[in-house]
Amino acid sequence: MVRRMIDVIKFIEDNDIGKYQENVSMAKHTTYRVGGIAKIMVYPKDEKKLIKLLRELKNKKILYKILGNGSNTLFSDKIFDGVIIKLDCLDEITFFRNTIKAGSGVNLIKLSNMAVRKSLSGLEFATGIPGTVGGAVYMNAGAYKSDMGYVVKSVKVITPKLEIITMTNKELDFHYRTSFLQKNPGYICLEATFQLKKGDKNEMLELVRDRKERRLASQPLDYPSAGSVFRNPENLFAGKLIEDLGYKGLIRGGAKVSEKHANFIINYNNATGSDIKELIEFIKEEVLDKYGLELKVEQEFVNWE
């Protein structure tokens, strides 16, 4: 595999794909602050360079993973013997009347705050979600009874055949914390178009401030985490189920169930990926045993095979 990674680096350099790094700790690129070493991390300059890179990796059957802000992923502690692709360079933002076009590498919090400042309403729910546009579309990120499915008009994607097409909101099949892209991971979000509405800037700013205060009061934002671990079952709250079982503060290695919010697992003392995964699986089994409910994990497990 060493020879193949050398060949990948040569390809990146010869084709001016973009910046790259070798032997990168995934703990520096995930909000859990855990994960093993990735052999190569590359930042393609644009869509054409991305497609060129993907074609090479597919042809050579080299493992790769598209990664946004790492805010909803749990990497194992093993070496990722492949290429992590970051789309940070796809960061253009265009405003036109009540619509916004934003590249998949755009920070979602930044975009949401820009929309508020321009009196465009619809993305206020996302001002506390620490992801990228691409990751948020993929996961159908949401909060406060809203999500990307309510505001995304269309998405430009790369297909598994490496063609660029535009998919409509209906085709994206948004549902609670899922989307067409999540169910069909061969598709890659390049850019999203948001349809918003004119709003009262002062009212929107007040709403954002109020929600920020609520988050600070109810969520363990002073520790590394990946937000809510489990999806809420219908008409129930996963955090309440876990709290009622007495598992607030439960520890496995350096991982801990938050005492502020039981649906958050925090890296409170140099946790490993295995510590966090063990805690997730234990809680999932306990909830199934005690309530007969199978909780769905919101986070994506990467490199655990």
Catalytic residue IDs: 177, 228, 298
**CA 56/CA 8 separation, integer angstroms:** 8
CB-based contacts of 1, cutoff 8 Å, min separation 6? 39, 81
Name the amino acid, one letter, at 33. R
- Which H, E and C letters describe 118-149, residue by residue? CCEECCHHHCCCCCEHHHHHHHCCEECCEEHH
Name the amino acid, one letter, at 92. E
**CA 303/CA 67 separation, integer angstroms:** 13
Q: How many CB atoms lie within 10 A of CB 162?
A: 14
What is the CA 57 to chain-centroid distance, rounded? 23
Token pair belonging to 283: 């809680």
**CA 15/CA 17 separation, integer angstroms:** 5
